[in-house]
Amino acid sequence: MKVKIQSKEKMNAEIAKLYIDMVKEKPNCVLGFATGSSPLGVYAKIIEAYQNGEVSFKDVTSFNLDEYVGLDETNDQSYRYFMNHNLFDHIDINKENTHVPSGIGDYEEKAKEYDKLIEEKGGIDLQILGIGSDGHIAFNEPNTPFDSLTHVAELASSTIQDNARFFSSIDEVPTKAVTMGLASIMKAKKIVLIATGLNKADAVKALLEGLVTIKWPCSILRNHPDVTVYVDHDAFSKVK
Ligand code: F6R
């Protein structure tokens, strides 16, 4: 696992370049996207590159990590809305080739097909991850089995609290999500993870120094051959 301690500005530019270079090298690549605040700066840089005519996403397929149960794409807190608004509406990706797990209707059945769909498209070439203060990746909370595939998960109370900032009250935060599992994420060929801020410091310490344990889901990444962790000084502050 590589670790890069950098300013937010520098990591955004570096990770965006990885995405852009991947698309230039393999125009029909499969990209893995995340939501939340961590990847926003990366998406802004990708949009900039597209607008400057540097890259086209017309043959790209994408998969997102997760979606809240109960929110459809018209809800501005749904992850489908987030992706349209913060990336897909501003680049030439074909929306039909963008996949976000469904959190409505027969979402449990659809979750079972998500890993198969990723496999059919050739697997994820490059996956971006954020990390929860409790060490979750996607919505794989502590004690999620390492062999989990896409499934419906209960959100930990710390995650509900962390995410309440996006909602008008904590009661509105969904308590369940459809999420790619830990085994689904581990199949990505290359992974980059962003962690910034003091509230990520314990999770970063567990990711880089602790035991590989289901108590810290992020720690599974130590078993992956190609992970780069981008951290700022605050998030790195508890690492010895
Ligand atoms: C979002 C996701 C989550 C977030 C994590 C960090 O798709 O999978 O695991 O990456 O909760 O969220 P932020 O970036 O808002 O701190």
pLDDT of residue 213: 98
Torsion of Cα atoms, 135 then 139 then 145 then 146, to 10°: -70
pLDDT at res. 42? 98
> Which pLDDT does position 210 carry in this prediction?
85
Would you state the pLDDT for residue 129? 98
Closest residue by CA, ligand 1 atom 8:
138
User: Which tens digit of pLDDT belongs to each residue from 68-80?
Assistant: 999 999 999 999 9
Question: Is 89 a known active-site residue?
Answer: no
Query: Which atom of ligand 1 lies nearest, measured to the CA of 38?
Result: 14
C-beta 100 within 6 A of ligand 1: no
Distances (CA, A) of 21 to 2, 10, 49: 19, 16, 11
Ligand 1 atom, smallest distance to 138 CA: 8
**Rounded Cα distance, 12 and 124, in Å:** 20
In this prediction, the residues of the chain whose per-residue pLDDT falls under 50 are none
Beta carbon of 138 within 6 Å of any ligand 1 atom: yes
